[in-house]
Structure 1
Amino acid sequence: MALQIGRAFQDGIDELLSERGAVFAGVFIVYGLLSSVVWASLSQALTDVFLGQLPSDAQVNQAAMAGGTPLALDLPLAVAAVGALVLFVVNVALNIVAIRAFASDDREPIPDNVGRRLGKTVAIAIVAGILTSIAVGIGIILLVIPGLVFALLFFFVQQEIALNDSGIIESISNSVSIVIDNLLATFVLAIVLLVLGLVLGGVFSLLPIPLPPMVLTTVSTVLSSVVSVFSIAVTTVAYLQAAESGYTQGTASTSGL
């Protein structure tokens, strides 16, 4: 079946408004707020280290710099760094679990099989993510457009890994094949999701009403988390449409790295 944009968005909305969508929205909101705190704390800790290296006559107002990180806690640099690393791994795991849940025919909010081989799958997803990010980054640095093309071609890599237990090279190759077969539809889908994320993530910063930085950051994080869940649902539905003939839930391949 070819990728149908309208159906993908409609099914994504239905999933977001379902019990499953509410559960994942809540989980992603909690994760998003915790992540904001940890990353703000890491940023503040790095700023403090930087300020501590400056000559005494070059010190700047640390309180003013702290205003840019309203959710920051006074954490040691090592603690904040380890926390950020752990949250990065947790984020990949959450994405894998959410993809499997939204792809499942089981109407339980969290199907039983979403945790299968989760450790190995997360490791593969992390390595694949690093490799694709490097390729996209190099493409953007060189001529910008190649980087955007790479980003589009790698659009379904996480779905391939989560649902087919594909290895790194296999998941990248299969994503490229699916995107090429559905190039225009995938491009439109990616653009709409990107614009939606940018608009809803920054809408409160454009309001004429002044809001405290902590409120602004919190509300933006909540909205971004909900958009993330919606994007996962839409992308997963789109992937299943495009790869339906070659995908069978629960009988995926077990390719290695």
Structure 2
Amino acid sequence: MALQIGRAFQDGIDEFLSERGAVFAGAFIVLGLANGVIWASLSQSLFDLFLEMLPPSAQANQAAMGSNTALALDIPVAVAAVSALALFIVSEALNIVTIRAFASDANDPIPDNIGRRLGKTVAIGIAAGILTGIAVVIGLVFIIIPGLVLALLFFFVRQEIALNDSGVIESISNSISLVTDNLIATFVIAVVLAVLGLVLGGAFGFLPISLPPMVLTTVSTILSSVVGVFSIAVTTVAYLQATESDYDVAHETESIGGL
């Protein structure tokens, strides 16, 4: 089945505005704020260690420069580093279960089967994310365009892992195949989601009023988290279309039931 841009966004919006969307938006907001606190704390702790290594004459100048630590807490570097790693794993797990939830035709906001083989799936997701991330970074070094092309080709990797239980190489290969079969539609969806994330994520930075750093960081984190959930909904719906799953049958049944 050909990927339909309008339908992907319409059905993605419906999923996002549902009770299920609200539940996962809340989860992503909590995770986003926790990440903000931990990474700000880690940054502040590392900055303080850096200051201690400088001669006294240079410490004052460096301290005056400061760092972006609006949400920082006074916690040890080791604790912050371990917490950051734990939240990274939790983030991958939340992405996986969110994709599975949006793909499910169950009525419950949190379907029963979204946690199947979660440990193994998260490990595969992290490995695939590292591999594709390295490839994209290398591509960006070469005049940017190759990196953007690779990022587009890897658009459905996480959906492949979460819904098709694919391995690292298989998920990358299948994503490339799906994207090339639906190149224009996938490109448009990816660009719209990227622009939406950039605009809403940095919207408060362009306001003609001055906001406290903590407020600005908190609001930006919340908006970015919400956009992230919406992007997962749209991308998952698009994946279901492109793979010709039971998506059509489920939605046709809903339409008949609503008549």
Question: Normalized against structure 2, the TM-score is what?
Answer: 0.93
Question: Where does residue 104 of structure 1 map in the other structure?
Answer: 104
Superposed CA offset, 1:54-97 (max 9, x none): 11111135764456211001111111111110000000000000
How far apart in 2 are the matches of 1:245 and 1:172? 19
Question: Where does residue 50 of structure 2 map in the other structure?
Answer: 50
Question: Where does residue 207 of structure 1 map in the other structure?
Answer: 207
Superposed CA offset, 1:128-163 (max 9, x none): 000000110111112211111100000000000000
Question: Where does residue 116 of structure 1 map in the other structure?
Answer: 116
- Assess, with a 3 A threshold, how the Cα gap between structure 1 residues 163 and 208 changes in structure 2: closer, same or farther: same
How far apart in 2 are the matches of 1:23 and 1:62? 43
How far apart in 2 are the matches of 1:106 and 1:233? 15
Q: Residue 102 of structure 2 contacts residue 236 of structure 2 at CA under 8 Å; is this kept in 1?
A: yes
Q: Residue 47 of structure 2 contacts residue 67 of structure 2 at CA under 8 Å; is this kept in 1?
A: no
How far apart in 2 are the matches of 1:121 and 1:33? 25
How far apart in 1 are the matches of 2:121 and 2:88? 14
SS of the counterpart of 1:59? helix
Question: Where does residue 151 of structure 1 map in the other structure?
Answer: 151
Please state how far the C-alpha of 1:209 moved relative to its aligned partner: 1.1
Q: How does 1:176-195 map to 2 (within 5 A)?
A: 176-195=176-195
Aligned-CA RMSD value: 1.6
Give runs of ≥4 in structure 1 deviating > 3 Å: 61-67
Structure 2 unaligned spans of 5+ = 248-259
Q: 2:60 aligned with 1:22, yes or no?
A: no
Question: Normalized against structure 1, the TM-score is what?
Answer: 0.93
- The amino acid across from 2:137 in the alignment is G
Question: Where does residue 224 of structure 1 map in the other structure?
Answer: 224
How far apart in 2 are the matches of 1:246 and 1:101? 14
How far apart in 2 are the matches of 1:245 and 1:105? 12
- The amino acid across from 1:195 in the alignment is V
Kindly tell me the number of residue pairs found equivalent between the two proteins. 248
Q: Residue 70 of structure 2 contacts residue 213 of structure 2 at CA under 8 Å; is this kept in 1?
A: yes
How far apart in 2 are the matches of 1:119 and 1:239? 23
Give identity over the alignment, percent: 77
SS of the counterpart of 1:60? helix
Q: Residue 3 of structure 2 contacts residue 242 of structure 2 at CA under 8 Å; is this kept in 1?
A: yes
